[in-house]
Structure 1
Amino acid sequence: MGIIQVAQHAEDLERAVGFYSDLLQQEPAVRFEPPGLVFFVLDGVRLLLERGAPSTLLYFSVPDVRSRIEELRAAGVEIVGEPTRIFRHEDATLGPAGTDEWMAFIRDSEGNTVGLVSRYGGLSIR
Protein backbone atom coordinates (compact mmCIF):
# COMPACT_ATOMS: atom_id res chain seq x y z
CA MET A 1 0.00 0.00 0.00
CA GLY A 2 1.20 3.52 -0.72
CA ILE A 3 0.02 7.09 -0.93
CA ILE A 4 -1.36 7.99 -4.34
CA GLN A 5 -2.88 11.41 -3.65
CA VAL A 6 -3.06 14.18 -1.06
CA ALA A 7 -5.35 17.18 -1.21
CA GLN A 8 -4.77 20.76 -0.08
CA HIS A 9 -7.33 23.51 0.46
CA ALA A 10 -7.15 26.32 -2.10
CA GLU A 11 -9.66 29.12 -1.63
CA ASP A 12 -8.36 30.99 -4.68
CA LEU A 13 -7.33 28.30 -7.12
CA GLU A 14 -5.39 30.57 -9.50
CA ARG A 15 -3.42 32.14 -6.64
CA ALA A 16 -2.68 28.66 -5.22
CA VAL A 17 -1.56 27.37 -8.63
CA GLY A 18 0.88 30.26 -8.91
CA PHE A 19 2.23 29.65 -5.40
CA TYR A 20 2.66 25.88 -5.79
CA SER A 21 4.08 26.20 -9.33
CA ASP A 22 6.80 28.46 -7.90
CA LEU A 23 7.35 26.36 -4.78
CA LEU A 24 7.50 23.02 -6.58
CA GLN A 25 9.28 24.51 -9.60
CA GLN A 26 6.88 22.81 -11.99
CA GLU A 27 3.57 23.46 -13.67
CA PRO A 28 0.40 21.50 -12.88
CA ALA A 29 0.00 18.16 -14.66
CA VAL A 30 -3.71 18.70 -15.32
CA ARG A 31 -6.64 20.99 -14.51
CA PHE A 32 -10.34 20.23 -14.50
CA GLU A 33 -12.67 23.22 -14.86
CA PRO A 34 -15.32 22.77 -13.69
CA PRO A 35 -15.30 21.66 -10.90
CA GLY A 36 -12.02 23.46 -10.04
CA LEU A 37 -9.37 20.80 -9.50
CA VAL A 38 -5.65 21.14 -10.16
CA PHE A 39 -3.14 18.29 -9.94
CA PHE A 40 0.62 18.32 -9.60
CA VAL A 41 2.51 15.00 -9.76
CA LEU A 42 5.48 14.57 -7.42
CA ASP A 43 7.39 11.29 -7.64
CA GLY A 44 4.19 9.49 -8.59
CA VAL A 45 2.04 11.07 -5.85
CA ARG A 46 -0.69 13.47 -6.93
CA LEU A 47 -1.09 16.78 -5.10
CA LEU A 48 -4.67 18.00 -5.57
CA LEU A 49 -5.53 21.66 -5.02
CA GLU A 50 -9.24 22.07 -4.42
CA ARG A 51 -11.58 24.61 -2.81
CA GLY A 52 -13.50 21.91 -0.94
CA ALA A 53 -10.46 20.15 0.51
CA PRO A 54 -9.49 20.65 4.16
CA SER A 55 -6.20 22.29 5.08
CA THR A 56 -3.42 19.71 5.24
CA LEU A 57 0.10 19.99 6.63
CA LEU A 58 2.28 18.93 3.70
CA TYR A 59 6.02 18.29 3.93
CA PHE A 60 8.15 18.65 0.80
CA SER A 61 11.70 17.38 0.40
CA VAL A 62 14.13 20.04 -0.82
CA PRO A 63 17.88 19.68 -1.47
CA ASP A 64 18.86 22.47 0.96
CA VAL A 65 16.16 23.84 3.24
CA ARG A 66 18.34 26.73 4.41
CA SER A 67 18.95 28.15 0.95
CA ARG A 68 15.38 27.43 -0.19
CA ILE A 69 13.98 29.37 2.79
CA GLU A 70 16.17 32.34 1.86
CA GLU A 71 14.90 32.20 -1.74
CA LEU A 72 11.30 32.06 -0.54
CA ARG A 73 11.87 34.88 1.97
CA ALA A 74 13.29 37.06 -0.84
CA ALA A 75 10.17 36.26 -2.89
CA GLY A 76 7.95 37.53 -0.05
CA VAL A 77 6.75 34.16 1.28
CA GLU A 78 5.87 34.20 4.99
CA ILE A 79 8.29 32.06 7.01
CA VAL A 80 6.58 30.60 10.09
CA GLY A 81 9.46 28.40 11.29
CA GLU A 82 13.14 28.90 10.52
CA PRO A 83 15.33 25.97 9.43
CA THR A 84 16.08 23.81 12.45
CA ARG A 85 17.76 20.46 12.97
CA ILE A 86 14.98 18.33 14.40
CA PHE A 87 16.36 14.82 14.34
CA ARG A 88 19.49 12.75 13.88
CA HIS A 89 18.92 9.43 12.12
CA GLU A 90 21.10 7.06 14.13
CA ASP A 91 19.61 4.13 12.19
CA ALA A 92 17.59 3.81 8.99
CA THR A 93 14.15 3.52 10.63
CA LEU A 94 12.87 6.93 9.42
CA GLY A 95 15.59 7.99 7.01
CA PRO A 96 19.17 7.32 5.96
CA ALA A 97 21.34 6.41 8.94
CA GLY A 98 23.87 9.06 9.89
CA THR A 99 21.91 11.99 8.49
CA ASP A 100 20.52 15.06 10.21
CA GLU A 101 16.95 16.04 9.31
CA TRP A 102 16.20 19.75 9.11
CA MET A 103 12.78 21.36 8.74
CA ALA A 104 11.38 24.82 8.15
CA PHE A 105 7.80 26.00 7.74
CA ILE A 106 6.17 28.53 5.43
CA ARG A 107 2.64 29.83 4.88
CA ASP A 108 1.20 29.20 1.41
CA SER A 109 -0.96 31.65 -0.51
CA GLU A 110 -4.11 30.15 1.05
CA GLY A 111 -3.00 30.35 4.69
CA ASN A 112 -1.95 26.69 4.97
CA THR A 113 1.30 25.78 6.71
CA VAL A 114 3.78 23.85 4.55
CA GLY A 115 6.90 22.06 5.78
CA LEU A 116 10.19 21.87 3.90
CA VAL A 117 12.60 19.06 4.79
CA SER A 118 16.26 18.37 4.01
CA ARG A 119 18.61 15.64 5.13
CA TYR A 120 22.28 16.43 5.51
CA GLY A 121 24.66 13.50 5.54
CA GLY A 122 26.64 13.23 8.73
CA LEU A 123 27.26 16.97 9.00
CA SER A 124 27.08 18.85 12.25
CA ILE A 125 25.36 21.98 10.96
CA ARG A 126 24.48 24.81 13.32
Structure 2
Amino acid sequence: MRGLVQVAQHADDLDRATAFYRDVLGLRHLATYRPPGLAFFDLDGVRLLIEKGAPSAVLYLASDDLDADVARLRAHDVVIVEEPHLIFTDDGTFGTPGKEIRMAAFRDSEGNLLCLMT
Protein backbone atom coordinates (compact mmCIF):
# COMPACT_ATOMS: atom_id res chain seq x y z
CA MET A 1 0.00 0.00 0.00
CA ARG A 2 1.16 3.50 -0.77
CA GLY A 3 -1.25 5.82 1.04
CA LEU A 4 -4.64 7.45 0.98
CA VAL A 5 -6.04 8.23 -2.49
CA GLN A 6 -9.67 9.17 -1.84
CA VAL A 7 -12.13 9.74 0.98
CA ALA A 8 -15.92 9.94 0.60
CA GLN A 9 -18.40 12.24 2.34
CA HIS A 10 -22.19 12.09 2.43
CA ALA A 11 -24.36 14.76 0.80
CA ASP A 12 -28.13 14.88 0.52
CA ASP A 13 -27.94 17.81 -1.92
CA LEU A 14 -24.97 17.61 -4.32
CA ASP A 15 -25.28 21.20 -5.53
CA ARG A 16 -25.46 22.61 -2.00
CA ALA A 17 -22.52 20.46 -0.87
CA THR A 18 -20.49 21.41 -3.95
CA ALA A 19 -21.05 25.09 -3.22
CA PHE A 20 -20.04 24.58 0.42
CA TYR A 21 -16.82 22.71 -0.26
CA ARG A 22 -15.85 24.96 -3.18
CA ASP A 23 -17.03 28.40 -2.04
CA VAL A 24 -16.93 28.21 1.76
CA LEU A 25 -13.99 25.86 2.36
CA GLY A 26 -12.16 26.93 -0.79
CA LEU A 27 -11.34 23.42 -2.01
CA ARG A 28 -10.48 23.02 -5.67
CA HIS A 29 -13.39 21.40 -7.51
CA LEU A 30 -12.11 18.69 -9.85
CA ALA A 31 -15.25 17.33 -11.51
CA THR A 32 -18.95 16.60 -11.15
CA TYR A 33 -20.62 13.64 -12.81
CA ARG A 34 -24.41 13.44 -13.34
CA PRO A 35 -25.46 10.72 -13.36
CA PRO A 36 -24.64 9.19 -10.97
CA GLY A 37 -24.30 12.33 -8.79
CA LEU A 38 -20.65 12.57 -7.75
CA ALA A 39 -18.52 15.63 -7.04
CA PHE A 40 -14.74 15.49 -6.58
CA PHE A 41 -12.44 17.96 -4.82
CA ASP A 42 -8.70 18.13 -4.20
CA LEU A 43 -7.64 17.79 -0.57
CA ASP A 44 -3.93 18.45 -0.95
CA GLY A 45 -3.43 15.51 -3.31
CA VAL A 46 -6.19 13.29 -1.88
CA ARG A 47 -9.54 13.22 -3.69
CA LEU A 48 -12.64 14.08 -1.69
CA LEU A 49 -15.71 12.41 -3.17
CA ILE A 50 -19.09 13.90 -2.29
CA GLU A 51 -22.07 11.61 -2.94
CA LYS A 52 -25.47 10.72 -1.56
CA GLY A 53 -24.61 7.05 -1.04
CA ALA A 54 -21.50 7.70 1.06
CA PRO A 55 -21.62 7.50 4.85
CA SER A 56 -20.81 10.57 6.91
CA ALA A 57 -17.10 10.90 7.68
CA VAL A 58 -15.33 13.19 10.13
CA LEU A 59 -12.74 15.13 8.14
CA TYR A 60 -9.84 16.84 9.92
CA LEU A 61 -8.55 19.73 7.82
CA ALA A 62 -5.29 21.58 8.37
CA SER A 63 -5.43 25.25 9.30
CA ASP A 64 -2.59 27.77 9.37
CA ASP A 65 -4.70 30.27 11.37
CA LEU A 66 -7.46 28.55 13.30
CA ASP A 67 -9.06 31.70 14.69
CA ALA A 68 -9.16 33.41 11.29
CA ASP A 69 -10.56 30.29 9.61
CA VAL A 70 -13.31 29.98 12.23
CA ALA A 71 -14.15 33.67 11.77
CA ARG A 72 -14.38 33.13 8.00
CA LEU A 73 -16.68 30.14 8.52
CA ARG A 74 -18.88 32.21 10.83
CA ALA A 75 -19.10 34.90 8.14
CA HIS A 76 -20.65 32.19 5.92
CA ASP A 77 -23.14 31.27 8.71
CA VAL A 78 -21.44 27.91 9.30
CA VAL A 79 -22.44 26.25 12.58
CA ILE A 80 -19.41 26.05 14.89
CA VAL A 81 -19.80 23.00 17.14
CA GLU A 82 -16.59 23.42 19.16
CA GLU A 83 -14.74 26.70 19.54
CA PRO A 84 -10.97 26.70 18.95
CA HIS A 85 -9.30 25.01 21.89
CA LEU A 86 -6.09 23.24 22.87
CA ILE A 87 -6.16 19.49 22.28
CA PHE A 88 -2.65 18.67 23.48
CA THR A 89 0.96 19.73 23.40
CA ASP A 90 2.95 17.49 21.06
CA ASP A 91 5.65 15.41 22.73
CA GLY A 92 7.21 14.81 19.32
CA THR A 93 4.96 11.91 18.36
CA PHE A 94 3.21 13.90 15.62
CA GLY A 95 5.77 16.57 14.81
CA THR A 96 7.58 19.29 16.71
CA PRO A 97 7.91 18.68 20.46
CA GLY A 98 6.19 21.44 22.40
CA LYS A 99 3.91 22.49 19.54
CA GLU A 100 0.39 23.20 20.73
CA ILE A 101 -2.24 21.37 18.70
CA ARG A 102 -5.53 23.27 18.57
CA MET A 103 -8.84 22.25 17.04
CA ALA A 104 -12.30 23.59 16.21
CA ALA A 105 -15.30 21.66 14.90
CA PHE A 106 -18.11 22.69 12.57
CA ARG A 107 -20.94 21.28 10.44
CA ASP A 108 -20.96 21.35 6.65
CA SER A 109 -24.04 22.11 4.55
CA GLU A 110 -25.16 18.48 4.91
CA GLY A 111 -24.76 18.22 8.69
CA ASN A 112 -21.47 16.29 8.57
CA LEU A 113 -18.96 17.06 11.31
CA LEU A 114 -15.62 18.53 10.17
CA CYS A 115 -12.67 19.74 12.22
CA LEU A 116 -9.93 22.27 11.69
CA MET A 117 -6.56 21.62 13.32
CA THR A 118 -3.36 23.57 13.66
Is the structural similarity TM-score above 0.5? yes
| Aligned pairs for 1:95-110 within 5 A | 95-110=95-110
Per-residue Cα deviation, 1:58-108 (whole angstroms, up to 9, x for no partner): 0100111111111111221100000001011121x2233221110000010
Backbone CA RMSD of aligned residues: 1.1
| Aligned pairs for 1:1-126 within 5 A | 1-91=2-92, 93-118=93-118
Unaligned runs of 5+ in 1: 119-126
Deviation of the 1:50 alpha carbon: 0.4
SS in 2 for 1:29: strand
Distance 1:112 1:24 in 2: 14
SS in 2 for 1:30: strand
Deviation of the 1:51 alpha carbon: 0.4
Q: Which runs of 4+ in 1 moved over 3 A?
A: none
How many pairs does the alignment contain? 117
Percent of paired sites with the same residue: 50
TM-score by length of 2: 0.93
SS in 2 for 1:28: strand
Distance 1:96 1:50 in 2: 36
Residues 62 and 23 of structure 1: CA distance in aligned 2, closer, same or farther (over 3 Å): farther
